[in-house]
Amino acid sequence: MSLLTFSCSSKAQKQTTDTGMQSDKKILVAYFSCTGTTEKIAGAIAQAVNGKLYRITPAVAYTSADLNWNNKASRSSVEMADDNSRPALGGETLNLKDYDVVFLGYPIWWDLCPRPVNTFLEKYDFSGKTVIPFATSGGSSITGSVKQLKALYPQIGWQAGRLCNGSAKQAGDWAKRVISVE
Ligand SMILES: Cc1cc2nc3c(=O)[nH]c(=O)nc-3n(C[C@H](O)[C@H](O)[C@H](O)COP(=O)(O)O)c2cc1C
């Protein structure tokens, strides 16, 4: 019973970001990352907006051989060459109903989001959710991936995304601005 009381009262509290800004929105920062770059940015965003960090975890982790884009037979090459590829996910089950706004982070793979991100978006009911994409890359823009995501999932309330190849602090500052006008 005391547990129940605690969970109700904590839900009723407003979220406070690290600048003291208050927001009634419950924020999820979901990200996919294989070599840690997007993970670092996601962590900074979650801290900046007081969001819950959630790692999109493939059932089978990607090895460095899997990530070799120079090899047409590597796992990532094969998956990205197939529009219908949806690699299985592991990790904890998410209660998406608990969140109003989702920051969605991923590395750019062949100008798109990696296929496990598609699996994630199709595993949960994102209808009507506000989703704000962010990405890291070796130089490509986020534009192609967002265009494809909007076309595949028109039921989602997509907000303008951002390529976060700068510092983690810049990413956090951007996320705070987005939330304050959202
Ligand atoms: C399979 C694969 C494909 C990639 N394709 C692109 C690409 O099209 N454009 C680009 O700029 N970077 C590309 N990259 C580089 C990644 O986007 C970049 O290193 C990213 O920051 C990695 O994020 P992570 O450490 O979170 O996995 C690719 C990387 C991999 C592994």
pLDDT tens, position by position, 99-152? 999 999 999 999 999 999 999 999 999 998 999 999 999 999 999 999 999 999
Residue 17 clears pLDDT 80, i.e. is over it: no
Q: Ligand 1 pocket check: which of 37, 41, 137 to mutate, most ligand atoms within 8 Å of Cβ?
A: 137
pTM: 0.90
* d(CA 115, ligand 1 centre) in Å: 13
Measured by CA distance, the residue closest to atom 29 of ligand 1 is 109
Residue 5 clears pLDDT 80, i.e. is over it: no
- CB distance 153 to 125 below 8 Å: no
**CATH H-level, domain 22-181: superfamily:** Flavodoxin domain (3.40.50.360)
pLDDT for 179: 93
Ligand 1 closest atom vs CA 31: 26
Pocket of ligand 1 (CB under 6 A): 33-39, 67, 69, 76, 107-111, 136-140
pLDDT band at residue 23 under the 50/70/90 scheme: low
* d(CA 34, ligand 1 centre) in Å: 9
Average pLDDT over residues 87-109: 97
pLDDT for 8: 31
Q: Ligand 1 pocket check: which of 57, 67, 109 to mutate, most ligand atoms within 8 Å of Cβ?
A: 109
- CB distance 71 to 79 below 8 Å: no
pLDDT band at residue 182 under the 50/70/90 scheme: confident
From CA 64, how far away is CA 83, in angstroms rounded?
A: 22
* d(CA 65, ligand 1 centre) in Å: 14
From CA 147, how far away is CA 112, in angstroms rounded?
A: 9
Residue 43 clears pLDDT 70, i.e. is over it: yes
H or E element, residue 39:
helix 37-49
- For the chain, which residues make up each domain, given as ranges? 22-181
